[in-house]
Structures are given as structure tokens and as C-alpha cells.
Amino acid sequence: MASEITVVIPAHAARIKNGMLERALRSVYAQTLQPDAFSIAIDVDGEGAAKTRGRALAAVRTKYTAFLDSDDRLKEQHLRVLRDAMTENDAAFTFSWFEPVGMGDHVGHFGKHFDKRNPHHTTMTVLCRTDIAQEVGFPEPASGETYGNEDWFFILGFCEKAIERDLRMIHVPERTWEYHYHGRNTSGMARNGDGPDRWK
């Protein structure tokens, strides 16, 4: 049975060289529910996460999109847990939570009920309906910003669509993926961490 899922991964050359992208891909290969496709976009021009993630999302043709950052890793049940929650609850957006690696849980929203009218950060490692995700897209950060925040603006945009169309957005209180803090995280900005602007 097809999963109807494409895994979207934005990356840049440093993540290829240092093996992080390969680690992320291996975690997808190990899923108990395999995706139907990958969409990987490589940032070679220092555009940052918003444009790179957006290019990968634009190529998706499956019903669902699962996002994964190139420096993180999925546990083997991740896609199955989120897809089952999506279908069982007739939801448009589902998210679990992460096991922190290299630091504590700096977000602290594990197990917190998600209210689309008063949202909190879900992280970007979510499963959602592709059609709505493509409508929302990823706005580019304002000039001079330290953090991209394209993930937060995506969540807010998805909430607006979900409110308009009475769609469900739900949290699965399980830790199904690993957030790797390694001091080279870009926070969506090419000039941060190991982003392209740093190694040109």
C-alpha cells in the first residue's frame, strides 16, 4: 500500500561533505512505513532555508509531505506514527516531538495540546497535506534578521488555512525523531552555522 508521502529535505553542500545529509537519508530508509518519494533541494547560492525548502516542496506530487532538516534524524516509527494519526483523526497537519541530542529540550512543548487559534511552535518536522503546504509556502526572512523563522511563519499560515476550512491540526505525544544540536545549525539563515555563506 502506498504511503502517499514525500519526504522533503533542504540541505547545502557542507551537509553533504560532513555526512549529515546521508545520516538523515539513512533514517528515512529505515522507516517502517516507507515514503513514496524524496524531494531534496541543495542550497548552492546561499539562499537560506526558506527558498531551499520551498523549491523542494514545489516538486512534491503526493498527498502528504513530511519535512526533515538535513542535520536531524527520524526514528524508525516516525512516518507511520504521523500518517496513522493523520488518517485516524482526519487531520491536515500532525506533529510528534523530538529527542534532543547535544542539548536539552529547548522548546518545551512536548505533550502540549495544539490550538490552531492560539498556536505554539511545532518544529518543522511535521507531516501535512501537500496542497495546503504549497498554498502557504515559506516566506523569506526580513533583511538583517538573525533567525529565518520560515518554519514559524509556515505554521501560522497553515493555521489560518485550517481555521478557514475547519481542518484539524494535532499533536502526537511521542518522541519519534532526533533534534541534533551541533553548533553548526543555521536557524534558516545561510550566514549562520555551516550555511553556504560561511563556506563560499
- Outline where DSSP puts E strands in the chain: 5-12, 37-43, 64-67, 73-74, 91-101, 126-129, 168-180
- pLDDT tens column, 142-195: 655 555 589 999 999 999 999 999 999 999 999 999 999 876 677 666 777 777
Residue 112 DSSP class: P
Rounded average pLDDT over 23-46: 96
- pLDDT tens column, 115-138: 999 999 999 999 999 999 999 999
Residue 106's pLDDT is what?
82
C-alpha 23 chain-centroid distance: 16
C-alpha 172 chain-centroid distance: 15
Residue 148's pLDDT is what?
59
- What is the spatial distance between Cα 116 and Cα 184, in angstroms, rounded to a whole number? 31
Residue 181's pLDDT is what?
85
**pLDDT of residue 70 exceeding 60:** yes
Rounded (5°) CA angle 45-47-53: 115
Q: Is pLDDT larger for residue 20 or for residue 145?
A: 20
Residue 135's pLDDT is what?
98
Residue 152's pLDDT is what?
93
- What is the spatial distance between Cα 82 and Cα 75, in angstroms, rounded to a whole number? 12
Q: Are strands 91-101 and 126-129 parallel, antiparallel or unpaired?
A: antiparallel
φ, ψ at 134 (rounded to 5°): -70, -30
Spell out the domains of the chain, with CATH numbers in brackets. Answer: 5-199 (3.90.550.10)
Residue 141's pLDDT is what?
66
In this structure, what C-alpha cell is assigned to residue 146? 538573525
Whether the model clears a pTM of 0.75, i.e. scores above it, the answer is yes
Residue 194's pLDDT is what?
76
- pLDDT tens column, 76-107: 999 999 999 999 999 999 999 999 998 888 88
List all residues 6 or more positions away from 1 whose beta carbon is below 8 Å from its beta carbon. Answer: none
Sheet of strand 64-67: strand arrangement: 37-43, 5-12, 64-67, 126-129, 91-101, 168-180, 73-74
- What is the spatial distance between Cα 87 and Cα 1, in angstroms, rounded to a whole number? 14
Residue 149's pLDDT is what?
81
